[in-house]
Structures are given as structure tokens and as C-alpha cells.
């Protein structure tokens, strides 16, 4: 763009270019924009609860940061409770709040690893998604929520939800997948009298 074009016009043209580049990116699977994730999943762990009061769960084990965003399954509760924050060494906060019958001290519950955080530059998932040697089936967020509640049966499956890859079932082993990553953000910067610059990554 020439320096004589007004800054608001340059900004608008840069925005249009950014939209076109994103559309082009979404419609092609260029190998240059592929990355791999290869991690080991811990599966499930058991905790011994002291009490559950609404969103606050106290327990006897020492809290582990890896539990955050994973599910707590309390026997008799029809809803999995996501651990949203480690409160202190022997307690954490869950969502939704537990509203069932009083939990006796010494009752056990299961923490299951069903979420794997996606990279910050994640653009789109590429097949196949592997759990050890099994190929995982893609499913919708709605179906996945029913599967996690035990109302629908399923084999090995996964769903992209927000910034996480939700996986089923929760079990230890290798998780491998490829993804198409987003190039750097496209933006205009610099002195208003200079050209609009679209930042790209080769």
C-alpha cells in the first residue's frame, strides 16, 4: 500500500487480506503448517474424600496440579464435576457444585484425565488421532457429554472443545495427534504514514 492512502483505508484492506489468508489457510492442508503432539496420559487416580460441601472438596491425599480441568467422579452423582482450581494442599474447587447426599469421610472418588490442553497456535485437528495403537473416532461435544455421563456407549473417541481435546475413555497410555497450526496473528502496526504491514510466518 502506498503512503498516500489514509490509515483507516489501509487498516480495512489489511483486515480483508487477513480474512482471505485465513480462508486460504483453512481450505488447504499444507505440510509446512503441521505439528505433532505426542504425550503420555496418566488415566485415572483415586482420592479419599473427607467432605464435600457445594464446590469445595477436601481429601486426604496431596493435591496435584495435573488434576486441574480434569473430572471428579463421585459415586451416586449423575454429573461429572470438573476440577477448576486447587484450593490448597488437601482441597480443590469443582464445577458444578455437588448437590447429592452427604459424603461420609473416607469415601473414595475417581479423578479421570479426559482433557488434554491444545497448543496455543492450534488451528485444526488432523487425522488420525491415536490412543496407543487404536484410532480414536471424532465425535460432537453433545455426544461426548452424554458419553461422559454414562448415558451413551462408545469406543475410543475425542472432541475438540474450546482449548482442549476431550478424550474417552480415561486410561493411561500414549496420545498422538497432528494438527494444523495458525500462523502468527495478522495485524497492522507502525507509524500511520508508513505502509500497512501484514506479519506472516513462513
Sheet strand arrangement including 115-117: 115-117, 164-168, 157-161, 137-138
Question: 199 pLDDT exceeds 70?
Answer: no
Q: In the chain, pLDDT over 70 holds for what percent of residues?
A: 84
> Where is pLDDT greater, at 55 or 27?
55
Q: What is the pLDDT of residue 30?
A: 65
Cα 24 to Cα 2: distance, rounded to the nearest angstrom: 25
Cα 14 to Cα 1: distance, rounded to the nearest angstrom: 9
Question: 193 pLDDT exceeds 80?
Answer: no
What is the chain written as a DSSP string?
A: --TTS-HHHHHHHHHHHHHHHHHHHHT---GGGEEEEEEEE--EEEEEEEEEEEEEEEESSPP-GGGTTSEEE-TT-SS-EEEEEEEETTEEEEEEEE-SSPPPTTEEEEEE--EEEPPTTEEEEEEEEEETTEEPEE--HHHHHHHHTTSS--SSEEEEETTEEEEES--SEEEEEEEEEP-SPP---S-TTS--------
Q: What is the pLDDT of residue 76?
A: 83
pLDDT per position as a tens digit, 91-135: 999 999 999 889 999 999 999 999 999 998 888 899 899 999 999
Instruction: Give the pLDDT mean for 3-22.
Output: 74
Cα 200 to Cα 202: distance, rounded to the nearest angstrom: 7
How much is the mean pLDDT over the chain? 85
Q: How confident is the model at residue 200 (pLDDT cuts 50, 70, 90)?
A: very low
Instruction: Give the pLDDT mean for 129-153.
Output: 91
Cα 64 to Cα 92: distance, rounded to the nearest angstrom: 10
Question: 9 pLDDT exceeds 50?
Answer: yes
Cα 35 to Cα 33: distance, rounded to the nearest angstrom: 7
- Minimum mean pLDDT among 10-24, 61-75, 146-160: which range? 10-24
Cα 63 to Cα 107: distance, rounded to the nearest angstrom: 17
Q: What is the pLDDT of residue 3?
A: 57
Question: 4 pLDDT exceeds 70?
Answer: no
- Minimum mean pLDDT among 2-16, 64-78, 132-146, 176-190: which range? 176-190
Question: 42 pLDDT exceeds 90?
Answer: yes
Amino acid at each position: 500500500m502506498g503512503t498516500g492512502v489514509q490509515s483507516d483505508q489501509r487498516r480495512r484492506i489489511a483486515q480483508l487480506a487477513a480474512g482471505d489468508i485465513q480462508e486460504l489457510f483453512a481450505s488447504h492442508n499444507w505440510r509446512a503448517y503441521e505439528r505433532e503432539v505426542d504425550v503420555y496420559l496418566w488415566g485415572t487416580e483415586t482420592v479419599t474424600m473427607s467432605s464435600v460441601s457445594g464446590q469445595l472438596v477436601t481429601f486426604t491425599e496431596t493435591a496435584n496440579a495435573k488434576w486441574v480441568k480434569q473430572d471428579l467422579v463421585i459415586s451416586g452423582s449423575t454429573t461429572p464435576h470438573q476440577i477448576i482450581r486447587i484450593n490448597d494442599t488437601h482441597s480443590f474447587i469443582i464445577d458444578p457444585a455437588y448437590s447429592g447426599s452427604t459424603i461420609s469421610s473416607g469415601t473414595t472418588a475417581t479423578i479421570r484425565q479426559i482433557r488434554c490442553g491444545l497448543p496455543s497456535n492450534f488451528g485444526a485437528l488432523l487425522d488420525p488421532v491415536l490412543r496407543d495403537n487404536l484410532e480414536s473416532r471424532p465425535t460432537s461435544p453433545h455426544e461426548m457429554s452424554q458419553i461422559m455421563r454414562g448415558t451413551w456407549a462408545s469406543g475410543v473417541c475425542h472432541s475438540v472443545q474450546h482449548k482442549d481435546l476431550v478424550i474417552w475413555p480415561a486410561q493411561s497410555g500414549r496420545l498422538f495427534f497432528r494438527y494444523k497450526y495458525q500462523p502468527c496473528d495478522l495485524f497492522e502496526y507502525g507509524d500511520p504514514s508508513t505502509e500497512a504491514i501484514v506479519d506472516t510466518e513462513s
